Chains A and B, each alone.
Chain A
Amino acid sequence: MGFEHMFGPLVQIVGSPYLMGLILLAIPIGMFFGAVPGLGGKLGVVLLIPFVFGMEPIAGAVFLIAMHSVVHTGGSIPSILFGVPGTGPDAATIVDGYPMAQRGEAGRALGASLGASGIGGVIGALFLAAMLPVLRPVILAFSPAEFFLLAIFGITFIAMLSGRSLIKGVSVGLLGLMVAFIGLDPHTGTQRYTFGQLYLWEGVSIIAAVLGIFAVPEMLALGVKGGAIADAPKKVAKYDLAQVLQGIGDVLRHPWLTLRTSLIGAGIGAIPGLGGDAASWICYGHAAQTCRDGKFGQGDVRGVIAPETANNSKEGGSLLPTLFFGVPGSSGMAILIGAFVMLGIQPGPQMALTGMDIVWALIWTLALANLLSVFMFVAMAPTFSLLVHVRGALLIPFVLVLSFLGAYLSESAWQNMGLLIVLGALGYFLKKYGWPRPPFVIGLVLGPIAEDSLHKALAIWGPTFFLRPMSLVFIVLIIASIGYYFWQRTRAGGIQVHSDV
């Protein structure tokens, strides 16, 4: 891994007005999806997919990663100003950010959030870069047996962490796997669940399925609820630039806390499924435990710094399993995998051999987007604070049209619009009755990997592949994660780790 390999993509990005323009365009879009409560990064990626059709793989990936990496930067705006989290992981910012705003320090809280997000994002990218030399030999040592169990581990883990019901989470993950089996069987050429439909021979479009299971139910729910997207007070806390700069200064005055929580966030992000809420709450808890002189919960700036660094640094960490194992670090990353595949980038172990230029381009994009978002945030935060009052009536029809467009464009098949409606209706009821939807995407993405690896492992070792040393490690991890779930359920008053359903 030479100097040229590492910095070549950076020079390529910075030297290209087109790529820099895409990053600069993606940042306010990402902040928009973060700042409007209920939208979030997953929906952002899903809805931007139609816009990256026809782009070069690197350009499309840079655009999507830049957008996704700054979602939580925007998400802190409604958290601090209104006490309404822009996205799930931003909820931890409310605990101290909102009291700060109430006592007239909204600008300072926003500045702290901004500085922490920017630095956290950059450290997350550096964490990913630092892990590459360690991870590469591990990835290359994995056999089909390990990949099969890794896929099962990913599904189990995410299913358990994304909802309150183990049965529902796992079932939805398995539904994703079943949908992934639709199409021609790669080993025998048998048609599975195609019902004679030619367009299903290649399998269900991940993009159409993701749009159906995420975007459509969100819009249906918004339409059923009616009114503004979030119930936020009309009055916005006032602040000035001096306060924002003071907040950024606060981050620099607490360098060790910033560094620690960034690294913890990145580490948590690297564990499939654990990112998001867990990263921000664990880092908040870490700050509260280690800064004993603080008044956490009453407007301590360190209570803003800790979760915000974690929110952005976890993105770098969660790219690790996503890119190199094809196991999404989070549900947002699962959707990104779908988008990458559509762009012609196939995440998985081969990335370590042939795709390092893309990996480095994504690392630098993460760092650049987080850095540039600091300046954009200062300029645009007042505007973004108004987004919390956006009425669903104006958002719903446009998002629905974009969803139909994305479903159609994914395979240039109009039949995908039918699939969108069916999965949209199913997704709505799953959402309504507490069936977590992120495991569906994980199952859908991992289905082909799991099946292919299972067949290969059985062909090479037979059923004894379960007894290989690394297989046993994964089996222990799967059992441990199930044990963790039950331990978490029985633990009263602990941190509730679950993403949106």
Chain B
Amino acid sequence: MSDGRTLTTAVMLAIFAGMSALALGFPAKAGFAPLLVGIPASLLCLAQLVIDLRRKRSSRAAGPGSPETGEENGETVITPREWFMFVWLAVFAALIAATGFHVGGPVAVFLYVRFGERERWFNAIFAGLGTFAIMWLVFTELLELSLFDGLLLPALLR
């Protein structure tokens, strides 16, 4: 089960099966609706898993030249470029969680544009400053919203 398509189905099945199993521990009234949804959903995902595995087997039988094989059909679980994007998503989350939206947001944008996409310094600085301007002018000043300051920055500044 090494291809992405089958793995996605397996994850969906695991989510439903896990949630249904947990629902068995709820009081009857609280667990009724989750079980009503979770059990048929688990069966549907199981059926999809069978379909995926059969498709995989038939594509293997058709040989490597078959249009059913390859990355498009989920042979590669996560490509290097996908890892690259997931890492950047984590960087955004970490920076914002640590230093908040006023600092972490613009810094994340700057870093991504300059080092992630190798854009010119001018573009990266402009994007970072633009993000800061929107955070501060629109959200803080105009809409008077209290933005998250981060988990780390307030402690460091104290």
A residues sitting closer than 8 Å to B (CB atoms) are 50-51, 53-55, 165, 167-168, 170-171, 174-175, 177-178, 181, 185, 187-188, 190, 192-193, 216, 220, 223-224, 226, 393-394, 396-398, 400-401, 404-405, 408-409, 412, 414, 417-418, 420-421, 424-426, 428-430, 432-433, 435, 450-451, 454-455
Contact = CB atoms under 8 A, between A and B. Distances in A.
Contact of B108 (A185, A401, A408): A401
Instruction: Name B's interface SS.
Output: helix
Contacts of B89: 216, 220, 400, 421, 424-425
A224 B85 contact: yes
Nearest to A434: B5
B145 A401 contact: no
A435 B8 contact: yes
Contacts of A167: 44-45, 47-48, 51
Q: Give chain B's interface residue range (CB within 8 Å of chain A).
A: 35 or more
B97 interface: yes
Contact of B44 (A170, A216, A430): A170
Nearest to B20: A178
Interface string B74-85: 100001011011
A166 to B, nearest CB: 9
Contacts of A412: 146
A183 B44 CA distance: 25
Nearest to A220: B85
Contact of B86 (A174, A188, A425): A425
Contacts of A424: 89
A171 B34 contact: no
Contacts of B85: 220, 223-224
Contact of B92 (A177, A192, A394, A404): A404
Name the residue in A55, A165, A435 with the highest tally of chain B Cβ atoms < 10 Å from its Cβ: A435
B12 interface: yes
A400 B105 CA distance: 9
Given A51-B138, A178-B15, A178-B38, 18 more contacts: A53-B145, A165-B48, A171-B44, A174-B38, A175-B12, A178-B19, A188-B27, A223-B84, A223-B88, A224-B81, A398-B130, A401-B105, A405-B147, A414-B97, A414-B148, A421-B90, A421-B93, A433-B5
Contacts of A226: 81
B12 to A, nearest CB: 6
Nearest to A430: B8
Nearest to B26: A190
B151 to A, nearest CB: 7
A409 B89 CA distance: 19
Contacts of A220: 82, 85-86, 89
A110 B151 CA distance: 51
B30 A175 contact: no
Contacts of B51: 167
A192 B34 contact: yes
A165 B93 CA distance: 33
Contacts of A193: 19, 22
A174 B29 contact: no
Contacts of B16: 171, 174-175, 178
Contacts of B9: 433
Nearest to B151: A414
